[in-house]
C-alpha cells in the first residue's frame, strides 16, 4: 500500500471516529440539560446560584402534577441563632419610597390556598417597622372574610371565629367553639380592656379594673335556659334564668341585676342593707339617690312634673289618692294641744322638733281656742318654748290647739326658685330605649 494513501486512510478513519464520539457526547449533554442541573456540595455558600440582571425571574420551577418547588432543611433550630428556613424569601429593596408593594413571599392559588403553613406554629409574621403590620389580610369581595379560624374543624364549615370585610368579628360560629373572648390586663395600668368607637367618638369602654362606661344605655335581654319545665296546667314552658353580675368598689358595694325577665335591679352593700337602686355622682363624690327594698326613696332633691300623691287606705280597705300641699319655701311643721291656766300657758317645744329647726330664725305659731274666751295671742317664743295668753287680761282656763311652722336646720334654699329640668326632660325625642334585636336581624353570620 502506498504510504501516503495509508496515512490518509488512517486520518479519515480517525476523523470519522471523532465525529461519532462528538455526537454521543452532544446527546449526553442535551440529556443533562433537559433533566436540569443536579448539584451537591459541602460549603457554606449556596450549591446553586442563579442571577437575573433584567426583569425576569431568577428561578422558575413548574410541575404538571407534582410540587413546583421542594425546599428542605435539617438545621438544629434549637435557638434563635441556629434556626433556618426551608424556604427563605427576602425583599432587598431599601430605597426610600420603593418596595412598598414588594413581598418577601407571595403565594397565589386559583381555587386552593395561597400560602399554607403547618407545624407547632402554623404561620409566624414579624414586622420590624414601627408603623409596619405583622399580618395584613385583604379581600376583593365585599362579602368575603378577612380571617377565619377553623380550630380543629378545618373544612367542615364551622369556623371557631371569623372577621369579615366590614370588620365584624363573630366568635363560636354555628356551634364551633364556645364563643368565649378573654382579654387580660393588670388593674391600675390605665390600659382599657376594650374600647368601642363610632367614627372618632368613644361610645363604649371597659377599663382594666372592670368598670363599664357607655354613652348610651346598657341593656340586658332575657336569657333562655337550655331546658323546659312543666307548668301547673301540665304544659311545657320556657324558663328564664336570672343573670348575676357583680362589681366591687371601694366601699364594698356590690350591684347585681336579678330577675332579668322583669325590670328589678337589686343592690346590697357591706352594711347588709338591700337596695333596689343606688345612684352615685362622681362629680359630687356621694350617692345622690337610693331606693330601698322597703320602697323608700332617698334623694338630694326630688322634683316631680305633677302634683305629689299618696295612695291612702280607707277603713274599708280601698285606697284613694290624696294630694300633698305646695309651699313657697322649705319648712318644718308641728302640731299639738295645750291648756290655759288662769289665762296663761307655757308650751315647750318637742325636743326632737327643736333640734331640727333653725333656732336663730323666728318660727310661727297659729292658735285655735277650744272654748269661750276673749281670744289668744303668743306673748313670747324661745328656741325651746312659747307662751300663750288670753286677750285683754282674760283669766280663762280652756284648751287650745296650735300649729308651728319653722325653718329646717341647715336649709338655705331660696323662695320660689326658677325650675330648670335637665337634659330636655320634658321633651326628649326619640325614646332613649332601644330594642336589642335578635342575632339574625343584626346581620350576624351563621
Sequence ranges of the domains in the chain: 221-299, 332-406
Secondary structure of residue 398 in the 3-state scheme:
coil
**What's the pLDDT score for residue 364?**
97
Q: Which three cell numbers stand for residue 321?
A: 289618692
Helix (H) and strand (E) counts for the chain? 2, 21
Q: Are 183 and 193 in contact (CB under 8 A)?
A: yes
Per the CB < 8 A criterion, the answer to whether 312 and 322 are in contact is: yes
Residue 255 to residue 269: CA distance in whole angstroms:
8
Give 91's Cβ-side CA count (13 Å radius).
12
> Which residues make Cβ contacts (< 8 Å) with residue 221, sequence separation at least 6?
260, 436
Per 3-state DSSP, the chain is made up of helix, strand and coil in percentages (nearest 5) of 10, 25, 60
Tally of CA atoms within 13 A in the half-sphere of 424 that contains its CB: 6
Q: What is the pLDDT of residue 426?
A: 58
Residues of the chain below pLDDT 70: 1-38, 150-159, 173-178, 217-273, 421-446
CB 423 within 8 A of CB 429: no
Question: Phi and psi for 237 in degrees, rounded to 5?
Answer: -130, 155
Our CA dihedral for 268, 274, 277, 278, rounded to 10 degrees, sits at -60
CB 365 within 8 A of CB 402: yes
Summarised one tens digit per residue, pLDDT across range 37-84 is: 667 787 878 888 888 888 788 788 888 888 878 888 888 878 877 888
Q: Residue 12: which H helix or E strand, with range? A: helix 3-35
Q: Read out DSSP for 68-130?
A: S---------SSTTT---SS-------STT--TT--SS----SSS-S----SSSS------ST
C-alpha cell at 54: 433584567
Report the distance separating Cα 118 and Cα 123, nearest Å. 7
Cell numbers for 334, please give them: 308641728
Taking Cα atoms as reference points, which of 229, 233, 184 lies closest to residue 210?
A: 184
**Going by C-beta distance under 8 Å and a sequence separation of 6 or more, which residues neighbour residue 318?**
none
Q: What is the DSSP letter of 348?
A: E
| H or E, element range at 332 | strand 332-339
Peptide bond preceding 430 in cis form (omega within 30 of 0): yes
CA distance 17 to 6: 17
Residue 249: name the closest of 215, 277, 211 by CA. Answer: 211
pLDDT of residue 271: 57
- Predicted confidence at residue 444, as pLDDT, reads 40
Residues whose CB falls within 8 Å of the CB of residue 108, separated by 6 or more in sequence, listed in order: 114
b/e map 178-214, b = 16+ CB within 10 Å: eeeeeeebeeeeeebbeeeeeeeeeebbbbbeeeeee
State the fold for domain 332-406. Answer: Immunoglobulin-like (2.60.40)
**Rounded to whole angstroms, how far apart are CA atoms 91 and 105?**
8
Q: What is the pLDDT of residue 334?
A: 97
Distances, alpha carbon 149 to alpha carbons 143, 146, 171, 338, 344, in Å? 17, 10, 9, 87, 95
- Distance between CA atoms of residues 108 and 124, nearest Å: 18
Amino acid at each position: 500500500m502506498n504510504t501516503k494513501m495509508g496515512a490518509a486512510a488512517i486520518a479519515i478513519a480517525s476523523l470519522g471516529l471523532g465525529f461519532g464520539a462528538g455526537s454521543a457526547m452532544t446527546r449526553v449533554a442535551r440529556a443533562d440539560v433537559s433533566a436540569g442541573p443536579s448539584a451537591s456540595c459541602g460549603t457554606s455558600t449556596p450549591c446553586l446560584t442563579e442571577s437575573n440582571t433584567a426583569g425576569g425571574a431568577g428561578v422558575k420551577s413548574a410541575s404538571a402534577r407534582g410540587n413546583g418547588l421542594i425546599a428542605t432543611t435539617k438545621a438544629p433550630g434549637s435557638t434563635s441563632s441556629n434556626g433556618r428556613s426551608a424556604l427563605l424569601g427576602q425583599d432587598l429593596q431599601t430605597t426610600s419610597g420603593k418596595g412598598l408593594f414588594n413581598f418577601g413571599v407571595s403565594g397565589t392559588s386559583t381555587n386552593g390556598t395561597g400560602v399554607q403553613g403547618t407545624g407547632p406554629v402554623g404561620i409566624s409574621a414579624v414586622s420590624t417597622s414601627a408603623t409596619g403590620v405583622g399580618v395584613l389580610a385583604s379581600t376583593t369581595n365585599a362579602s368575603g372574610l378577612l380571617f377565619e379560624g377553623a380550630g380543629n374543624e378545618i373544612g367542615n364549615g364551622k369556623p371557631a371565629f371569623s372577621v369579615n370585610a366590614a370588620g365584624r368579628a363573630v366568635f363560636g360560629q354555628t356551634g364551633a367553639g364556645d364563643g368565649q373572648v378573654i382579654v387580660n390586663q393588670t388593674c391600675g395600668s390605665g390600659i382599657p380592656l376594650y374600647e368601642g368607637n363610632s367614627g372618632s367618638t368613644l361610645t363604649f369602654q371597659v377599663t382594666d379594673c372592670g368598670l363599664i362606661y357607655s354613652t348610651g344605655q346598657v341593656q340586658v335581654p332575657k336569657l333562655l335556659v337550655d331546658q323546659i319545665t312543666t307548668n301547673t296546667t301540665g304544659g311545657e314552658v320556657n324558663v328564664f334564668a336570672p343573670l348575676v353580675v357583680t362589681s366591687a368598689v371601694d366601699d364594698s358595694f356590690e350591684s347585681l341585676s336579678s330577675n332579668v325577665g322583669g325590670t328589678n335591679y337589686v343592690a346590697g352593700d357591706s352594711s347588709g342593707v338591700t337596695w333596689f337602686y343606688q345612684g352615685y355622682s362622681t362629680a359630687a363624690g356621694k350617692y345622690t339617690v337610693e331606693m330601698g327594698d322597703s320602697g323608700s326613696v332617698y334623694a338630694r332633691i326630688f322634683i316631680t312634673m305633677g302634683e305629689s300623691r299618696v295612695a291612702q287606705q280607707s277603713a274599708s280597705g280601698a285606697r284613694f289618692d290624696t294630694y300633698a300641699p305646695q309651699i313657697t319655701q322649705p319648712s318644718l311643721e308641728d302640731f299639738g294641744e295645750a291648756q290655759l291656766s288662769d289665762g296663761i300657758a307655757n308650751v315647750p317645744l318637742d325636743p326632737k322638733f327643736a333640734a331640727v329647726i333653725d333656732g336663730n330664725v323666728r318660727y310661727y305659731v297659729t292658735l285655735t281656742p277650744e272654748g269661750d274666751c276673749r281670744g289668744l295671742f303668743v306673748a313670747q317664743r324661745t328656741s325651746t318654748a312659747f307662751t300663750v295668753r288670753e286677750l285683754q287680761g282674760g283669766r280663762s282656763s280652756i284648751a287650745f290647739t296650735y300649729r308651728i311652722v319653722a325653718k329646717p336646720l341647715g336649709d338655705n334654699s331660696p323662695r320660689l326658685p326658677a325650675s330648670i329640668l335637665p337634659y330636655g326632660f320634658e321633651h326628649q325625642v326619640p325614646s332613649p330605649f332601644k330594642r336589642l334585636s335578635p342575632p339574625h336581624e343584626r346581620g350576624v353570620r351563621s
